[in-house]
Amino acid sequence: MDPNQPGAYFLSFELQSEEQEARLYFAPEDRDRWRALWPEREKQLQQERREAEAKARAQGLEIDEGYEDPPLLGLR
């Protein structure tokens, strides 16, 4: 295709609900009870984030300390 000529582009995307996304953090056999398992998984994710941010700080990168993850609406 010549970038200086009109062309056609194909675009596709897939939408996924917040609940569908959250369920993917768990093994298939645990996905039906993801809400009960979420608090422990969230603690693990927060620890991983703290470790990654500490590593980034050690490399001299600036971290936005004020950012907070939004609450999962599926847990309300």
34: enclosing H helix or E strand: helix 34-58
> What six digits make up the tokens of 10?
């194909």
**Residue 12: what pLDDT?**
92
**Residue 40: what pLDDT?**
95
| CA separation for the pair 34, 30 (Å, rounded) | 6
pTM score of the predicted model: 0.71
Across the chain, which has 76 residues, the per-10-residue mean pLDDT values are 80 92 94 94 94 96 89 78
Kindly state the DSSP code that residue 26 receives in the 8-state scheme.
S
- The residues, any chain, with a CB within 8 Å of residue 73's CB and separated by 6 or more, are 18
**Residue 1: what pLDDT?**
67
Classified as helix, coil or strand, 41 is helix
